[in-house]
Homo-oligomer: A and B are copies of this chain.
Amino acid sequence: MKAISIGLLGLGTVGSGVVKIIENHQDKLIHQIGCPVVVKKILVQDLHKARPAEVDTGLLTSNADDILHNADIDVVIEVMGGVSETKEYLLSALRQGKHVVTANKDLMALHGSELLRVASENGCDLFYEASVAGGIPILRGLVDGLASDRITQMMGIVNGTTNYILTKMSQDGLAYEEVLKEAQELGFAEADPTSDVEGLDAARKMTILATLGFSMHIDLDDVKVSGISTITEEDLKYGKQLGYTMKLIGFAHREGEKVEVSVQPTFLSDNHPLASVQNEYNAVYVYGEAVGETMFYGPGAGSLPTATAVVSDLVGVIKNLRLGVNGRSAVTPQFQKQLKDDSEKYSKYFLRIHVRDEVGVFADITSLFAKYGVSFEKILQLPIKKNETSEIVLVTHRSSLTNYENILSELNDLQAVKEIKSSYRVVRKSL
């Protein structure tokens, strides 16, 4: 049986993993798809850089056209990253009738719908399982496994760097900066960690998940984002007392026809399935009307885990090739996007404030919450030794975001309030 020929765009961490898996698991691939899989050409920037032993340097090229306009190549695997140039490459490949597998979350979050449309117009598959949560087959889980259900909520720990940092801060009682530095030394965080720690990476993945899970085209701009860089060890200590674990949660919620998508540090109750996801692991919690609670857990990054998702997608493309049904599995969104207003977004909140240690202060604060109809689930008032300051830690019952932001703003204006130290969303196990 004629071999299927692959063109690989990029030979970094994931690309090397793809080469390894295609080589090491060739017998399983042949058994499943009935023919060999051969990497024919690999696009790299520098032809002379040292490469892993598995790579035949004769395959390397620095000219993308050797792949995109190579009639022998059936499938293009994109693991080079980047957006503008990469998008042009993939559009060109699709227009040449080549199927595409990509691991590129930035590209799919920004231009996924255009690329999927062009793929469909050209009868090509475009698969991107590896773009979200690395080795976890979550996109297939949503599209195929839960095909019959109506998904109403997704909560994702979809960034390994931040989960590693929060785990270490929580376990060892260390400060953010200290753990970040250690994570950088260990290779769990980039030299410039902004995209991870400020939640942008997670937001891109939530864009992809929400679009698929809610069958509604969600843009990156629709995702409200905040990161973990201002979280303190005090916050985590209070969380522990209250039975909460801090995670950076990508949150996608549908109520009726309206959705919200956000990324933010969140206190989860310790018995939430996501609370026990530690270190660099990822997990996506999916709530469906019929199925109830499910969770998909695994490595969110890394050479071989991510490459597993890429090559599993490749198996899907080749199965379709052999059945003659490529380009027919993508489903266009069913619904027009409708985003919730802030007045329709409900949550519980953790709030830590410093107030003057004076008579009547507590009454002022509680009456402000009462004015907006927000009541408390828990209140801790703790005297702080210096400067006649009290620290108050509150957990509210459900409040609309509008009301809660009004409360925060009026708290800031209260003469008795010295500082709002921190505020986080709180999610309990039961919805």
Q: Which A residues fall within an 8 A CB radius of B?
A: 17, 20-21, 24-25, 27-29, 31-32, 129, 135-137, 140-141, 144-150, 215, 271, 273, 276, 278, 281, 288-299, 302, 304-305, 307-312, 314-316, 319, 323-325, 328-329, 331, 334
CB distance from A397 to the nearest CB of B (A): 25
CB-CB under 8 A for A136 and B294, given A146-B312, A273-B276, A308-B149: yes
* Cβ contact within 8 Å between A31 and B215: yes
* Residue from B141, B271, B273, B289 within 8 A of A141 (CB atoms): B141
> Across the two chains, which residue of chain B brings its CB closest to A282?
B294
* Cβ contact within 8 Å between A146 and B137: yes
> Across the two chains, which residue of chain B brings its CB closest to A281?
B293
* Cβ contact within 8 Å between B149 and A145: no
CB-CB under 8 A for A329 and B319, given A146-B312, A298-B295, A304-B290: yes
Alpha-carbon separation in the docked complex, A199 to B146 (Å): 28
> Across the two chains, which residue of chain B brings its CB closest to A285?
B297
* Residue from B21, B136, B316, B329 within 8 A of A290 (CB atoms): B21
CB distance from A238 to the nearest CB of B (A): 23
* Cβ contact within 8 Å between A294 and B290: no
Alpha-carbon separation in the docked complex, A10 to B175 (Å): 59
By a CB distance below 8 angstroms, the chain B residues around A146 are: 137, 308, 312
By a CB distance below 8 angstroms, the chain B residues around A307 are: 148, 290
Q: List 24 A-B contacts (CB under 8 A).
A: A17-B290, A21-B290, A25-B150, A28-B148, A31-B334, A129-B145, A135-B290, A135-B294, A137-B144, A140-B140, A140-B145, A147-B315, A147-B316, A148-B310, A148-B311, A148-B312, A292-B304, A293-B297, A293-B298, A293-B299, A294-B297, A295-B298, A319-B329, A323-B325
9 smallest CB-CB distances across A and B, nearest first, come from A137-B145, A148-B311, A294-B298, A295-B297, A135-B291, A147-B315, A290-B304, A291-B308, A147-B312
CB-CB under 8 A for A144 and B147, given A17-B290, A290-B305, A334-B28: no
CB distance from A403 to the nearest CB of B (A): 33
CB distance from A141 to the nearest CB of B (A): 5
* Residue from B28, B140, B331 within 8 A of A32 (CB atoms): B331
By a CB distance below 8 angstroms, the chain B residues around A27 are: 334
Copies of this protein, total: 2
Q: 20 additional contacts, CB 8 Å, given A32-B331, A137-B146, A294-B296?
A: A21-B148, A25-B148, A25-B290, A28-B334, A140-B140, A141-B296, A144-B144, A148-B307, A148-B308, A148-B310, A149-B312, A290-B304, A290-B305, A291-B299, A291-B305, A291-B308, A292-B304, A295-B296, A296-B297, A324-B325
* Cβ contact within 8 Å between B315 and A148: yes
By a CB distance below 8 angstroms, the chain B residues around A309 are: 145, 291
CB-CB under 8 A for A141 and B137, given A297-B294, A299-B294, A305-B292: yes
CB distance from A4 to the nearest CB of B (A): 13
Between A135, A299, A323, the greatest number of chain B beta carbons within 10 A of the residue's beta carbon is seen for A135
* Residue from B28, B145, B215 within 8 A of A150 (CB atoms): B28
* Cβ contact within 8 Å between B329 and A308: no
By a CB distance below 8 angstroms, the chain B residues around A314 are: 148
Alpha-carbon separation in the docked complex, A309 to B290 (Å): 10
> Across the two chains, which residue of chain B brings its CB closest to A149?
B308
> Across the two chains, which residue of chain B brings its CB closest to A17?
B290
By a CB distance below 8 angstroms, the chain B residues around A148 are: 21, 25, 28-29, 307-308, 310-312, 314-315
* Cβ contact within 8 Å between A290 and B308: yes
* Cβ contact within 8 Å between B331 and A323: no
CB-CB under 8 A for A297 and B297, given A31-B331, A290-B307: yes
* Residue from B137, B145, B276, B323 within 8 A of A312 (CB atoms): B145
Alpha-carbon separation in the docked complex, A168 to B256 (Å): 36
Between A21, A28, A298, A316, the greatest number of chain B beta carbons within 10 A of the residue's beta carbon is seen for A298
> Across the two chains, which residue of chain B brings its CB closest to A18?
B148
